[in-house]
Structure 1
Amino acid sequence: MGYTGSIPDTAARRHDWMARMACRDMDPDLFIDRATEHEARLICAVRCPVRAECLANVKRLEAGVARDRRDGVVAGLTGPERWRLDADAPGHSDKPALVFTGEAPNCGTYTALLRHLWLGERVDPGCWSNEVRRDRLNRAHLATKRQEDVAAINAEAS
């Protein structure tokens, strides 16, 4: 086959980054289900090569959107977290938006993790290890609560 003289189309497209998302071929339920929230965060914040583009896209799409209109984990942040960090979103009269100004919060805290994720920074290992600990404690608490609820239901039924 000979040279045709045509130039290949190499122009960048607006959403070309989406082809490189770490979540592209994964089950979407992983990012919606509260029980798998930590795993979804890990995929977004640690394994995704285009998290910055995803974060910029979700910030643009959800700017000013109400809390109940934000679902799942996107760019490592849950819907309520993205709402809490969006100063233009409605409903901040009783709980003001979280704004990161001045000195950064101590790494290892939940606020520091949110700061890293919202600003597109590399997540400090201390923040991840504490996030893992918080996730385990939350799961253990929920499991205990479920057992107590089942025991209470069984006691009422007897």
Structure 2
Amino acid sequence: MAYSGAVPDTAARPLDWMDRMACREEDPDMFFAKDRQHEARLICVVRCPVRTECLASVKEAERGAHRDYRDGIVAGLAHNERWRLDVEAIRCKDDTVPLILDGTEPCGTHNALLGHLWRAERIDPECWSAEVRRDRLERATAARTSNPAAAEPAPSEVPLKTAS
């Protein structure tokens, strides 16, 4: 084979990381459905090898935008969470104040999980367990309010069995 003088194209492209996103293989509607937020967050946090690049990209794209211009779960954060964590975001007079996280939030709280996600840190088991408990509580509450007769009782309402 004769030398052609051509050099293979191996240059990195700015958005090459998007080819490796875990969400590419999933149902896109999951990342926008309120009742599937935990499932979407799980894909981002546990399975996505490029969550850091995704977070940097969404931070840049949404910087300063109002919450009405954000949508879905991205890099493990819901649209409202990203808005509250963006100190440059446009806010109306009656909007909530920005959520300032300084890294001192106690692990096992939702704010600590948000801090880990926002700073692209590793999520420790204590914070993730709190997220799982929070999701289960939200699902149980939603089930009780949508169909009170058919919903299972909350764990605190289940009578304890005693040995006879």
Tell me what 2:137 maps to. Answer: 137
Identify the residue that residue 153 of structure 1 maps to in structure 2: none
1:116 match: 116
CA distance in 1, matches of 2:149, 2:114: 32
Shift of 1:2: 3.9
Output one character per residue of 1:103-134: Cα deviation in whole Å (capped at 9) or x when no partner. Answer: 52111000000000000000010111110011
Determine which structure has the larger helix proportion and give its number: 1
Q: Alpha carbons of 1:92 and 1:100: their partners in 2 closer, same or farther (altered >3 Å)?
A: farther
1:13 pairs with 2:5: no
Measured in 2, the distance between the counterparts of 1:14 and 1:38 equals 29
Q: CA–CA distance in 2 between the matches of 1:38 and 1:15? A: 26
The residue number in structure 1 matching 2:29 is 29
Q: TM-score, normalised by structure 1?
A: 0.88
Q: Which amino acid aligns with 2:96?
A: K
Q: Please give the TM-score of this superposition, normalised by the length of structure 2.
A: 0.85
Q: Does 1:97 find its partner at 2:98?
A: yes
Residue 66 of structure 2 is matched in structure 1 by: 66
User: Where does structure 2 lack aligned partners over 5 or more consecutive residues?
Assistant: 151-164
Partner of 2:83: 83
Give the aligned residue type for 1:136.
R
Q: Distance in 1 between matches of 2:89 and 2:137?
A: 30
Following superposition, the deviation at residue 3 of structure 1 comes to 3.4
Q: Does 1:53 align with 2:49?
A: no
Tell me if structure 1 keeps the 8 A contact 2:44–2:75: yes
Query: 1:149 deviation in Å?
Result: 9.4
RMSD of the alignment, in Å? 1.7
What residue ranges of structure 1 are gaps of 5+ in the alignment? 151-158
Q: 2:100 corresponds to which letter in structure 1?
A: V
Paired position in structure 2 for 1:154 = none
| Secondary structure in 2 matching 1:129 | helix
Shift, 1:69, TM fit: 1.5
In 2, Cα distance between equivalents of 1:144 and 1:138: 10
Q: Distance in 2 between matches of 1:81 and 1:149?
A: 33
Q: For residues 2 and 35 of structure 2, what CA distance do their matches in structure 1 show?
A: 57
Sequence identity percentage = 58
Would the aligned equivalents of 2:101 and 2:111 in 1 still touch at CA under 8 Å?
A: no
**Matching residue of 1:155:** none
